[in-house]
Structure 1
Amino acid sequence: MITKNNINKNHAMLMVLCVLIAVSVLSVNMLNHIAPLLLLNNSDYLSVFETSQLHSFSMFFLELHSYGYLIAQIFFGLWLFPLGYLVYKSGFIPKMIGILLMLGCFGYLIDFFISSLYPNSLSLISLIVTVPADLGEFSLCLWLLIVGVKIKEHGKKS
């Protein structure tokens, strides 16, 4: 069991901050998915553009969405390190899950840099470097669903 004193508040706040940034970036980035729909809905104000121009604009926004997702991936990777550290130190979830989560942080960052530097690189590299994150996140979810969490108050016997 875990006591409330085993949890590092600063690491937890860093984790939440990274997730908030990632979710904010993804939320704004969803506008790039909506833009092609607006461009292709045959509104009167778009009649000044030719069809080929509208198609080009639509593809631009769809490609822009993939870059926005890539930016959010930085913060989705960064949040895994404090989460993994908290899991590792907690003592109520297997340390291996915490290690996988921390490795997953670096996997996401490596994937970001490879995708940024070599945009036409093979997606196989992306699959390989993100395996620890996938294993860690799924393992954590399964552990919490199957085993669960029991928190012991400091100074109380269970």
Structure 2
Amino acid sequence: MDLIKNEDYKTQNKTARIAGLFYLSIVLSGIFTLMYVPSKLIVWDDASITFNNIVTSEMLFRIGILSGLICYVCYIMLPIVLYKLLKPVHENSAVLMVVFAIISIPISYLNIQNKVDVLSLIGNAEYLKMYTAEQLEAQVMLLLESYDNGILIVEVFWGLWLFPFGYLVFKSGFLPKVLGILLMVGCFSYLIAVCGGLLFPNYEIPSFVMLPASIGEIGTCLWLLIMGIKKGKSTHMSNN
């Protein structure tokens, strides 16, 4: 009996670390594509500078797109692995977690097309010669704005999946409860950011609003990857 329990623990711990690895990949690629690349290339109040930045640093822009594609592939795998790990805690919540996460994927991939279209506009195709430089610059900015609008929409699901995920972490008994609380609060952080972005576009949401989500996700990522799960804790299937 002890041997079986020990083997179960090894399997669960391996699953936790795989989830942590996928999570880390999402965090790193997400930071690169959503924060680092835009900070280097995009100047929102100057279309000309932004256009020239992308032209002169086209490879960085392309790597940013690739990083986004990798991020969303990992975002497909993460909830599936977490489902395997957390299903014994509460199956219905685990299913809801996966559904909310997976729904965001097609939206995210379609949204990346805006960035791919930017590459077409900065190219040397013959048909582009009919546009003036100002027109091309304006179209590039419009596509970048469309991409940002798409991120605002997909953040709804980036937030929603955190609530069942956080609940499962909190109830698991083999992951820190504080991380579960932060993840659940993080759900509302995203939703506040979305509502604020839609209702008050000229008002910048304070950075502390997203702190619970950031700390909860990065903390859970590192815990899964480094610590795995607590040994000796058992869970029981529940559908209530």
TM-score of the two chains, using structure 1 as the length reference: 0.86
Whole-angstrom CA distance in 2 between matches of 1:5 and 1:19: 15
Partner of residue 25, structure 1 = 107
Secondary structure of residue in 2 paired with 1:93: coil
What does 1:1-158 correspond to in 2, within 5 Å?
A: 6-123=88-205, 125=206, 127-149=207-229
Q: Distance in 2 between matches of 1:137 and 1:65?
A: 23
Give me the CA root mean square deviation.
2.3
Identical-residue share of aligned pairs (%):
43
Tell me how far apart the structure 2 counterparts of residues 84 and 152 of structure 1 sit (CA, whole Å): 18
TM-score, structure 2 normalization: 0.58
Structure 1 counterpart of 2:111, which letter? N
Q: Is the 8 A contact 2:86 2:172 kept in 1?
A: no
Task: Give how far 1:144 is off.
Answer: 1.1
Letter in 2 for 1:92: F
Once the two structures are superposed, residues 47-106 of structure 1 have per-residue CA deviations (whole angstroms, 9 ceiling, x without a partner) of 332222121111100111000011111100000000001001111111111011000000
Greater RCO structure (CA 8 Å; 6+ sep): 1
* Distance in 2 between residues matched to 1:22 and 1:108, nearest whole Å: 14
Please say if residues 6 and 89 of structure 1, whose CA atoms lie closer than 8 Å, have aligned partners that are also in contact.
no
Q: For the residues of structure 1 that align with 2:204 and 2:87, how far apart are their CA atoms?
A: 45
Q: Please, which runs of 5 or more residues in structure 1 have no aligned partner?
A: none
Q: Distance in 1 between matches of 2:139 and 2:192?
A: 31
Structure (1/2) with the larger helix percentage: 2
Structure 2: tracts of 5 or more residues without a match = 1-8, 13-84
Secondary structure of the structure 2 residue equivalent to 1:47? helix
When structure 1 is superposed on structure 2, of 139-148 and 107-116 the one drifting more is 139-148
SS in 2 for 1:77: helix
On the 8 A contact 1:4/1:152 being kept in 2, the answer is no
Distance (Å, rounded) in 2 between the aligned partners of 1:137 and 1:18? 16
Are residues 153 and 68 of structure 1, via their aligned partners in 2, closer, same or farther at CA, if it must alter by over 3 Å? Answer: closer
